[in-house]
A and B are shown apart, each in its own frame.
Chain A
Amino acid sequence: MKSQATLPVAATALACLAGCGPGVQSVMAPGGSQAGQIATLAWLLFGFGAVVLAIVIVALWLAIRGSPRLRTALARETMIIALGLVFPAVTLTLLLGYGVWLMQPDGDHDDRGVMRIEVVGEQWWWRVAYAGATPIASANEITIPVGRPVEFVLNAADVIHSFWVPSLGGKVDMIPGRTTRLRLTADRAGIYRGQCAEYCGGPHALMAFEVVALPPTEFDAWLAREAAPATAPSTDGERHGQTLFVAAGCGTCHAIRGTAASGTIGPDLTHIGSRRSVGVDTMKLTHANLVRFIAEGQHVKPGNRMPEFRIFRPDELDALAAYLSSLR
């Protein structure tokens, strides 16, 4: 019974390890060269660990069930020196050397074709800025081109956060008052999920984000769209929403480029309608979820810095959500 159960359980655990979710947030599902190296190293370590475990099990079995001759051989001092000292010293040194060689920053001094994106960790969201002719501010979603190295320039505004997109590479801490860097390259288009990997207070667990990797031409088109100011509202409902947005003071914390709203305390909302989520990857971006986040954000994401705006009537919330959705 016991031996029957072990195999399926182990297989399930391994499968889960290899593909948590649909492979958008897993070290074992690399989407770029840096992540590939980490995955290679991880597999090597697992393999090596398995070999060592096998040796230990065999030695243990021999020590208990082996013939007296084998047991005497096993207890010899040379055996202890060989397996207990020499073997680990040699193999661990080799592994360390391989790891250091594998993880060396490749071509970090070569800045040609590198795209630079600044990310600031804030309680509890991600401030994103694309350097360029028109600096583009965004939040909680990072779009990158496929095949081009991206250097993330990382900072923290309040406490230590950690930037980690498991499918694209290793994690790097974001430390207040200090700039850290991380270079990643996505080899295939897709969506990769990232997560703050350093406990940073209340809603830390909900401080996630998505990296959207687009083919270069699509990326250029996206960047051009993102650089443009916000679209003007086109329907009465959207216009009413914009009026409410201004009158309720939303623009004192949130910026919408091309309007008077220029707050820098909260996420930039210039193109929020084209993002995939609301409330820092807490919920999918839908009309209903926008309404929910505005009116009961503290239930959706307890402790977040935006107060609940329960002052709005349902029709006003609808207008606001319509306006925000129109900012594509």
Chain B
Amino acid sequence: MRISPSVPRIARLALYGAAGLALLGFLFVWSGVYSVAASRGHWPTMEWFLTFAMRNSVKTHAYGIDAPPLDNTDLVTLGAGHFHSGCAFCHGGPGVPISPIAQGMLPSPPDLATQMRPWRDRELFWIVKNGIKYTGMPAWAAQERDDEVWALVAFLRRLPSLDARSYRDLALGNLQVPQQSGREVATTETASEAIGACARCHGDERHAPTSALVPILHGQPAEFLTAALESYAHRRRASGIMQPVAVELGRDDLGRVARYYAGLLPPARPLNLLPDATAAIVRGRALAEQGDPEARVPPCAGCHGADALKTYPRLAGQNAPYMTNRLRLWKGGLAPGTDGEAIMAPIARALSERQIDDVSAYFASLGAAPGAPAR
């Protein structure tokens, strides 16, 4: 490498120096002397530098994100349900110790109940949605589901005020985990944390879902439930909450749990109707029975009534917030991932905001069983 003599001497020295340093750096890395061991930790300077970079990156990237109102029990409960199965293994929770395996990570995941940084809502959202490079913090499994991420952020806001008991109430819902015998503990998975229990969020024979953002599965056709679980398991239907759960289920488990919920009678649930609900229900009923041909909206009852295909969901008595959220996701542009969504998404896009509220209020107001219970 020859540099023209017209270049000043000082510049030439700087160039040779830089090239030499780069070569030395490469040789250092090539030699393998540098240890990537998580057991050793970072040098303090390095640690400060990485943290500095992370904090500023999060702040900058989260700038401009608008946080929705998060003080909402349905959001918090839904977030708690997912936190328990998705986050607590690494981050712990009130009464849930961080797994020693997770503690061995570098950086070791912070216990969010006690040592969460004073992040803004939007910054927490950005972290949960995108994850953080080089830390092991994963990105949200379904990037198109911001609504789910916000549910988790709502729960994180509540987390510092929870004790072990109130945490368990939120995360496990009404689930009574039976005590296992010593033999059961020894020969099966321990059940006390009930990580994979559907009933934590979706309820069981005696209980409705804990959050109105969670669908009532009681009495839905088994064919529909099976298809839904399969589409989550194959990651066709977008959900960072349901995909990890469905992936864990074997083919037979999936059919069995679908038949279990298909056989349940509709749960008793408080019907929280807004003051102007009656008018909304009347409008929603007209839409459900006659549709809105001008806007190319067919009548909902044609596909969601009791006699429809078993691969279609029944909507009578479904949670209104769940329905409005799902319709708004499609209206907001969620790409249809399943064969059923391919039919429903264009219809949801044709609905007006008010029609979404009206028709959800109408179906929620129907006390009847969603579909036929088991005979």
Q: Which of B293, B308, B345 contacts A248 (CB 8 A)?
A: B308
Other CB < 8 Å A-B pairs besides A247-B308, A249-B309, A307-B346, 6 of them? A249-B302, A263-B291, A263-B302, A307-B342, A308-B342, A311-B343
B205 at the interface (CB under 8 A from A): no
Report which B residues bind A (CB closer than 8 A). Answer: 291, 293, 296, 298-299, 302-303, 307-309, 311-312, 339-340, 342-343, 345-347
A249→B296 contact, CB < 8 A: no
CB distance from B66 to the nearest CB of A (A): 32
Residues of A within 8 A of B296 (CB): 265, 305
Is A264 among interface residues, defined by CB-CB distance under 8 A?
yes
Does A310 lie within 8 Å of B293, measured CB to CB? no
Interface majority SS (helix, strand, loop, mixed), chain A: loop
How many angstroms from the CA of A263 to the CA of B345 in the assembled complex?
19
Across the interface, name the chain A residue whose C-beta is closest to B303: A249
| Bound Cα distance from A251 to B346, whole angstroms | 17
**Minimum C-beta distance from B336 to chain A (A):** 8
Chain A 307-323 interface residues, beta-carbon cutoff 8 Å to B: 307-311
Contacts of A326 in B (CB 8 A): none
- Please tell me which one of the listed residues A248, A305, A307 contacts residue B309 in the complex, with CB atoms under 8 A apart: A248
A307–B298 alpha-carbon span in the complex (Å):
12
In Å, the complex CA distance between A252 and B302 comes to 6
- In the assembled complex, how far is the CB of residue B54 from the closest CB belonging to chain A, in whole angstroms? 44
Q: Is A253 an interface residue (CB 8 A)?
A: yes
| 28 A-B contact pairs sorted by A residue (CB < 8 Å) | A246-B307, A247-B309, A248-B303, A248-B308, A249-B298, A249-B303, A249-B308, A249-B309, A251-B302, A252-B291, A252-B298, A252-B299, A252-B302, A253-B298, A263-B291, A263-B293, A263-B298, A265-B296, A265-B298, A305-B296, A307-B343, A307-B346, A308-B342, A308-B343, A310-B339, A310-B342, A311-B311, A311-B339
Nearest CB of B to A316, in Å: 9
B340: chain A residues at CB < 8 Å are 311
Among A247, A249, A253, A307, max chain B CB count under 10 A is at A249
Q: How large is the interface on A (under 10, 10 to 19, 20 to 34, 35 or more residues)?
A: 10 to 19
Shortest Cβ-Cβ A-B pairs, 6 listed: A252-B298, A252-B302, A249-B303, A310-B339, A249-B302, A307-B343
Cβ contact within 8 Å between A264 and B293: yes
- Smallest Cβ distance from A265 to chain B, in angstroms? 5
Inter-subunit contact A247/B307 (CB<8 Å): yes
Chain A positions within 8 Å of B298 at CB level: 249, 252-253, 263, 265
* Chain A contacts with B in 265-311, Cβ cutoff 8 A: 265, 305, 307-311
* Least distance between B283 CB and chain A CB atoms (Å): 18
Give the contacts of A63-82 with B (CB-CB under 8 A). none
* A248 and B347 alpha carbons, distance in the complex (Å): 14
Complex CA–CA separation, A297 to B304 (angstroms): 23
Q: Which residues of A contact B345 (CB under 8 A)?
A: 307
Distance from A255 Cβ to chain B, minimum over Cβ atoms (Å): 11
Q: From residue A155, how far is it (CB to closest CB) to chain B in Å?
A: 14
- Name the residue on B nearest A123 (C-beta): B296
* A264-B293, A265-B293, A305-B346 known; A311 vs B303 contact (CB < 8 Å): no
Chain B residues with CB under 8 Å of A265's CB are 291, 293, 296, 298
Q: B342 — which chain A residues lie within 8 A by C-beta? A: 307-308, 310
> What's the least CB distance linking B188 to chain A, in Å?
37
Q: How far is the CA of A273 from the CA of B346 in the complex (A)?
A: 27
Do the beta carbons of B307 and A309 come within 8 Å of each other? no
A311, B302: Cβ atoms closer than 8 Å:
no
B137 to chain A, nearest CB (A): 37
**With the chains together, A297 CA to B298 CA distance in Å?**
18
CB distance from B41 to the nearest CB of A (A): 53
A229 CA / B298 CA spacing, docked (Å): 22
B343 touches A309 (CB 8 A): yes
B259 to chain A, nearest CB (A): 20
With both chains docked as a complex, state the minimum distance between the C-beta of B19 and any C-beta of chain A, in angstroms: 56
B residues near A252, Cβ cutoff 8 Å: 291, 298-299, 302-303
CA distance A253 to B350 in the complex (A): 14
**A249 contact set on B, CB distance < 8 A:** 298, 302-303, 308-309, 312
Shortest beta-carbon distance, A230 to chain B, in Å?
18
CA distance A12 to B296 in the complex (A): 47
Tell me, in angstroms, the Cα distance from A10 to B311 when the chains sit together.
61
